Amino acid sequence: MTRHLLVPMDDSDPARAALEYALTVIPNAEVTVVHAVDELETGYGGGSATDDSNATDDAEPDFFADVRAIADDHDRALETEVIEGTTAAAILEYADEAGVDGIVMGSEGRAGVSRVLLGSVAEAVARRSTVPVTIVP
């Protein structure tokens, strides 16, 4: 029985579908939504990797408001966390440290050249995870 699910979230339709899946199909599980911020890849608010601003502070408020609205639509509570690092590695590290029982994630979040150069985060997580991974299209 799955007790604690990790749902990595970005601003994509597949990520929102994964959250909907976790909240609907596995109704008794505790859900933690994480948003990975790779400061070497991008800066929030027009910043850059060399900007001194803290990307996690800029990312959290508006981003998780949308996530909480989805949870409210399902009358569910969830935890949120901004994590730092290369996306797949940060997700896997958090999953291990938090002792989650499973990961539910969207099939893709990136598009275009970024996805080709960086590879599929979902594929990397699925291949290296020590817990079951459900990939939602």
pTM of structure? 0.80
Q: Is the pLDDT at 83 greater than 80, yes or no?
A: yes
Supply the pLDDT for residue 109. 56
Q: Is the pLDDT at 11 greater than 90, yes or no?
A: no
Q: Is the pLDDT at 99 greater than 80, yes or no?
A: yes
Q: How confident is residue 46, by pLDDT bands cut at 50, 70 and 90? A: very low
- For the chain, what is the mean pLDDT? 82
- Mean pLDDT within 106-124: 64
Q: Which two tokens stand for residue 108?
A: 């893709």
Residue the block writes with tokens 């290369």: 86
Domains in the chain: ranges and CATH:
4-136 (3.40.50.620)
- Give the C-alpha separation, 54 to 32, whole Å: 22
- Mean pLDDT within 37-43: 70
Bridging pattern class, strands 133-136 and 102-106: parallel
- Give the C-alpha separation, 58 to 47, whole Å: 10
Supply the pLDDT for residue 53. 45
Q: Which two tokens stand for residue 125?
A: 């997580």
- Give the C-alpha separation, 11 to 77, whole Å: 20
Please classify residue 15 by burial: count the beta carbons closer than 10 Å to its beta carbon, then call 0-12 exposed, 13-18 middle and 19+ buried: buried
